[in-house]
């Protein structure tokens, strides 16, 4: 791929339209041009590609600009995301960094007030380093954005839905319609990491760009870092590609290969993880805990989420009302690994305020009503009964008392 231009005719451009259902398309990687009919796309572990002559540049010259393994991955991702073109970069944060480079000095971003800690950090950094302001709004209220939309300033509207970690839902079609009506030059960007393209399809719901931390569900095994950007229009994809080549954050061949391998099992992994997550959510609600999960009919936006997605996914969070109890629950589990991140085949447990969201200053977390005792669960593919038994033991041993079916906090006297 030429290093000089963001070529619309680059090998990453042609995208076949989806012909089969998702579970079929995701496992069907187009490799028909392979000279040896290799069943798995090879890893082109090469930084450079030779030319036949000084004026005879081939399809690829340098892996920062393009690499055949990356092209296969990007074409496959574009197909499953319903994107005109997809681009693979070194992490989810790198994907957001590339996207925010479309914002010029003096322009503004609008984002949610519940969002991944690293995203908040990057937006704060943009403000400090370049004066690019972000307005944080409540994305559960589709009209909350209206006073902030400015056709001369608004460049990006960034939605996480469900949000990390409070699992709030944004009405993508309604918000996108507001944005496009009032600010024709603004781009609606959806972080679709928690859902994956299997469960939610932002580009079909009105977004201009959808991006993912490929570190999570797309790869599924926590063995690589990656970011994926899908654009609805070639003109936007060309600008993003230009930034990727200019800054050198394209994903390396081995990680492209790992991601291409991992993504094939996305649908089966997600089905299993989601089925168990539904049980975990019910189990916690039955014990009287406040659970945040869009698969629960008690979630305030259950109907909305059911309209814009085809499932609730496998990340949920819950409150205990007491930081000490939460710590004991997290540390009392054996099967649930204490770890940041989600989307892995192994189940994980964490306390966002101490881990993934610790970079958000405590007073900002408080202003945004992020509970310090919140526990986040990322449900894996283990046996569901084992996971529930492990959680049950940790709950009982945490200082909670089971009264009937409900957990009650033990008084200090009772604990001693
Ligand atoms: C919702 C969300 N978006 C983006 C990211 C960033 O992804 P990465 O860790 O791959 O940079 C994360 C987590 O890190 C996340 O939770
Ligand atoms: N130390 C890291 C924390 C990464 S959190 C990863 C993931 N998005 C999650 O929500 O758990 C950092 O500061 O970025």
Ligand 1 atom at shortest distance from the alpha carbon of 93: 11
CA–CA separation, 291 vs 284, rounded Å? 7
Query: Which of 159, 193, 223 is the pocket-test mutation for ligand 1 (most atoms within 8 Å of CB)?
Result: 193
Query: Which of 118, 164, 222 is the pocket-test mutation for ligand 2 (most atoms within 8 Å of CB)?
Result: 118
Q: Which residues line ligand 2 (CB under 6 A)?
A: 116, 118, 164, 340-341, 356, 359
CA–CA separation, 68 vs 62, rounded Å? 11
Measured in Å, residue 32 CA sits from the centre of ligand 1 at: 33
Nearest in space to 114 (alpha carbons), one of 145, 159, 178: 159
pLDDT reported for residue 4: 39
pLDDT reported for residue 202: 98
Annotated catalytic residue: which of 64, 101, 133, 368? 64
Measured in Å, residue 410 CA sits from the centre of ligand 1 at: 37
Residue 364's SS3 state is: helix
pLDDT reported for residue 8: 34
Q: Please report how many Cα atoms fall inside a 13 Å half-sphere around the Cα of residue 300, on the Cβ side.
A: 9
CA–CA separation, 71 vs 29, rounded Å? 12
Q: Active-site residue 238, yes or no?
A: no
pLDDT reported for residue 405: 60
CA–CA separation, 167 vs 150, rounded Å? 28
pLDDT reported for residue 401: 57
CA–CA separation, 26 vs 10, rounded Å? 23
Query: Which of 117, 313, 360 is the pocket-test mutation for ligand 2 (most atoms within 8 Å of CB)?
Result: 117
Q: Active-site residue 133, yes or no?
A: no
Ligand 1 atom at shortest distance from the alpha carbon of 96: 4
CA–CA separation, 404 vs 64, rounded Å? 61
pLDDT reported for residue 361: 97
pLDDT reported for residue 403: 59
C-alpha angle 111-112-114 in degrees, rounded to nearest 5: 140
Ligand 1 atom at shortest distance from the alpha carbon of 227: 10
Q: List the strands of the sheet with 290-292, edge to edge.
A: 290-292, 315-319, 375-378, 348-350, 337-338
**Reported ipTM:** 0.98
Measured in Å, residue 340 CA sits from the centre of ligand 2 at: 6
Instruction: Show Cβ contacts of residue 300 under 8 Å, excluding neighbours closer than 6 positions.
Output: 140
Measured in Å, residue 93 CA sits from the centre of ligand 1 at: 6
CA–CA separation, 407 vs 400, rounded Å? 6
For ligand 1, atom 15: residue with the closest CA: 116
- Domains of the chain in start order, with CATH, are 22-263 (3.40.640.10), 267-415 (3.90.1150.10)
| Phi/psi of residue 356, nearest 5 degrees | -60, -25
Annotated catalytic residue: which of 191, 208, 255, 390? 191
Which segments in the chain show pLDDT lower than 50? 1-14, 411-413, 415-416
Annotated catalytic residue: which of 116, 198, 211, 293? 116
Kindly report, residue by residue over 247-263, the tens digit of the pLDDT: 999 999 999 999 999 99
- 270 membership: H or E segment, kind and range: helix 266-286
Q: Which residues line ligand 1 (CB under 6 A)?
A: 91-93, 116, 118-119, 160, 164, 191, 193-194, 213, 215, 225, 227
Q: Active-site residue 64, yes or no?
A: yes
Q: Active-site residue 216, yes or no?
A: yes
pLDDT reported for residue 399: 78
């Amino acid at each position: 791929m030429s290093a000089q231009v963001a070529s619309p005719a680059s090998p990453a451009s042609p995208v076949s339209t989806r012909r089969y259902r998702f579970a079929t398309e995701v496992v069907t990687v187009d490799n028909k041009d392979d000279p040896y009919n290799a069943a798995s796309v090879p890893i082109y572990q090469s930084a450079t590609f030779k030319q036949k002559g000084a004026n005879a540049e081939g399809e690829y010259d340098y892996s920062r600009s393009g690499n055949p393994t990356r092209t296969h991955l990007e074409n496959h991702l574009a197909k499953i995301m319903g994107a005109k073109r997809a681009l693979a970069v070194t992490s989810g944060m790198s994907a957001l960094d590339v996207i925010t480079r479309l914002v010029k000095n003096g322009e503004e971003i609008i984002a949610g007030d519940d969002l991944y800690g690293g995203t908040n950090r990057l937006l704060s950094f943009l403000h400090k380093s370049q004066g690019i302001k972000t307005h944080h709004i409540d994305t559960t209220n589709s009209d909350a954005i209206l006073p902030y939309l400015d056709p001369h300033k608004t460049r990006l509207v960034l939605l996480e839905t469900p949000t990390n970690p409070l699992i709030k839902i944004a009405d993508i079609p309604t918000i996108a319609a507001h944005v496009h009506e009032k600010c024709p030059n603004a781009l609606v960007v959806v972080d679709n990491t928690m859902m994956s393209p299997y469960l939610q399809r932002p580009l079909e719901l009105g977004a201009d760009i959808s991006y993912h931390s490929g570190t999570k569900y797309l790869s599924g095994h926590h063995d690589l870092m990656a970011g994926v950007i899908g654009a609805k229009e070639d003109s936007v994809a060309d600008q993003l590609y230009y930034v990727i080549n200019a800054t050198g954050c394209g994903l390396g061949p081995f990680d492209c290969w790992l991601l291409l391998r991992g993504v094939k099992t996305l649908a089966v992994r997600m089905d299993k993880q989601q089925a168990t997550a539904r049980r975990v959510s019910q189990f916690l609600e039955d014990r009287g805990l406040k659970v945040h999960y869009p698969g629960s009919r008690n979630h305030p936006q259950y109907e909305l989420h059911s309209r814009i997605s085809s499932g609730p996914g496998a990340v949920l969070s819950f409150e205990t009302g007491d930081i000490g109890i939460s710590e004991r629950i997290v540390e009392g589990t054996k099967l649930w690994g204490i770890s940041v991140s989600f989307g892995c085949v192994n189940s994980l447990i964490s306390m966002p305020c101490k881990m993934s969201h610790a970079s958000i200053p405590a007073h900002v977390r408080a202003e945004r009503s992020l509970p310090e005792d919140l526990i986040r669960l990322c449900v894996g593919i283990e046996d569901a009964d084992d996971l529930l038994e492990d959680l049950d033991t940790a709950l009982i041993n945490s200082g909670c008392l089971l009264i009937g079916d409900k957990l009650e906090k033990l008084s200090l006297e009772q604990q001693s």
